Amino acid sequence: MTDPSATFLLFGATGDLAHRMIFPSLYNLLSDGLLPDDFMIVASGRTEMDDEAFRADIDKALQKFVGADRYDAEVAARLKAMIGYQPVEAGKPEQFRKLAERLDGRAERGLSVYLSTPPSLFAPTAQGLAEAGLITPTTRIAMEKPIGKDLASSKEVNDGIGALFDESQIFRVDHYLGKETVQNLLALRFGNVMFEPLWNATAIDHVQITVGETVGLEGRVSYYDGVGALRDMVQNHVLQILSIIAMEPPARMDPTAVRDEKVKVLRSLRPMTAETVKTNSVRGQYSPGAVGGEIVTGYSDELGQPSDTETFVALKAHIDNWRWQGVPFYLRTGKRMPARQSEIQIQFKPVRHSIFGRAGGLEPNTLIIRLQPEEYIRLLIMSKRPGLEREVHLEEVTLDVSLTAAFAGQRRRIAYERLILDLLAGDQTLFVRRDEVEAQWTWIDSIIDGWKEAGVKPSPYASGNWGPSSAIALIERDGASWHD
């Protein structure tokens, strides 16, 4: 790692992500004294605007998204003083020249570029930077998803950026990796002695990963339709969680060791076929219903036309390696679910032999790791029900660790705070390497191709449900059930 970048250059600075996440994160970092001295933020977008107009706009966003309890006009003023706005449009070399003038030799002291634009602009933007002399060995570039819509297009994006930057300078963002609870999976698995010996096919029956959202399309028609839940959520966030749950222990917490182990898992995912998608996948699309007591419309009504895009997907995945042979990973994610709820369930196998005979309510152990909105770890274990009966009666009790309570004094960070800080410092551990993205797409493509070949269309589910009933059948066929 080198000195932190002295300049942060944001493309797509007038967009939603910049307002909701990136500037509030920079505000929090500044407020905690975590930004380098003499730091400069150059915001850029296509809109013509001067510094003052942009700063005023950001101030409004900070008041809205930082939270009333944290917003402090003095910190906001310091942040605004660091921000300059420069209109730049990809393909206009003159504007990139002006941008370079504005940076006035600062790129030499480390420049972190953040692309929060549509992916079609990634390569042209990088090209503009190169022509303006803004790419040096200390320039880093961060990219938001989606990186392509399949393996072929992701390779194009990666080639476009890779022609101008070394992989060690490229930071692919998956904001789930910035979440404290996702990083905590590493601490849970590798910072405790009791889980690792059991973390394999000998002791684990199956794993469930659920990422449920209550929101619908949210005015993201142009992006979401034609993309769908598989590409929007499984290709990145869900597979990143899966890779951390399933990976071998890395030798140390460094970018190469961690990502080497993750990519091995991703490459071990068994590809689906037109035959297996029929039993191992479910596509759904929300229809009218009620979420949290509110009546909501269906996807096609929001869209204004019928569509074949899935807003829900459930999958039964297999990881073909030694550790996970015969252990299914059930994955599901969807919009307009009954609750915003992301969690992992590790379902252990029954004890080998019950000394309690047929009596007694013996159940296999379950570990539940809730990622959001609450943060907790629950282990369901067997305990003797108190009483003088001659036959032992067992009952499930919960070992319950609330991380929210255990760390009550600590502010929960926006995922982007961690990621921006790591980008500035040049630490790639929590960013996705090219081979990971490509392994993710390889598996996702096998499902999409399978769906096409087998003609699998989304089945409707009433908003406020955990997907179509076939999603329940997907797991119950194997004698298990979703943890709702």
User: Which residues are annotated binding-site positions?
Assistant: 46, 145, 175, 179, 213, 232, 335
Strand partners, 209: 331, 344
Q: Nearer Cβ to ligand BG6, position 55 or 335? A: 335
Q: Which helix (H) or strand (E) holds 281?
A: strand 281-287
Distance (Å, rounded) from C-alpha 112 to C-alpha 139? Answer: 6
Residue nearest to ligand BG6 according to CB distances in the complex: 232
Minimum distance from residue 232 beta carbon to ligand BG6 (Å): 5
Minimum distance from residue 22 beta carbon to ligand BG6 (Å): 14
Among 232, 343, 436, 445, binds ligand BG6 (CB under 6 A): 232
What residues are designated binding site for NADP(+)?
Answer: 46, 145
Instruction: Single out the catalytic residue among 19, 237, 353, 483.
Output: 237
Count of residues touching ligand BG6 (by CB under 6 A): 2
Minimum distance from residue 443 beta carbon to ligand BG6 (Å): 18
Residue 370, both tokens: 């809730």
Q: Nearer Cβ to ligand BG6, position 270 or 412? A: 412
Can you spell out the DSSP letters for 86-97? EE--TT-HHHHH
Interface characters, 409-448, with ligand BG6 (x: CB under 6 A): ----------------------------------------
Q: Which residue is listed with tokens 């449900």?
A: 465
**Cβ-contact 263, 481 below 8 angstroms:** no
- Considering only residues 371 to 400 of the shown chain, the ones binding ligand BG6 according to CB under 6 A are none
Minimum distance from residue 144 beta carbon to ligand BG6 (Å): 9
Per the annotation, the verdict on 206 as an active-site residue is no
Residue 77, both tokens: 């003023």
Q: Nearer Cβ to ligand BG6, position 42 or 209? A: 209
Minimum distance from residue 132 beta carbon to ligand BG6 (Å): 30
Distance (Å, rounded) from C-alpha 440 to C-alpha 428? Answer: 18
Rounded to 5 degrees, what angle do the CA atoms 292, 295, 297 make?
A: 120
Which residues neighbour 231 within 8 Å (Cβ) at sequence distance 6 or greater? 146, 149, 444, 448
Among 57, 180, 205, 213, binds ligand BG6 (CB under 6 A): 213
Terminus-to-terminus CA distance in the chain, angstroms?
43
**Cβ-contact 423, 114 below 8 angstroms:** yes
Residue 97, both tokens: 């020249």
Pairing of strands 341-348, 329-334: unpaired
Select from 348, 154, 176 the least CA-distant residue to 262.
176
Minimum distance from residue 441 beta carbon to ligand BG6 (Å): 16
**Cβ-contact 163, 129 below 8 angstroms:** no
At residue 33, what are phi and psi to the nearest 5 degrees?
Answer: 70, 25
Q: Nearer Cβ to ligand BG6, position 116 or 268? A: 116
Select from 102, 103, 121 the least CA-distant residue to 111.
103
Which residues belong to the active site? 237
Q: Give me the residues that bind ligand BG6 (CB under 6 A), please.
A: 213, 232
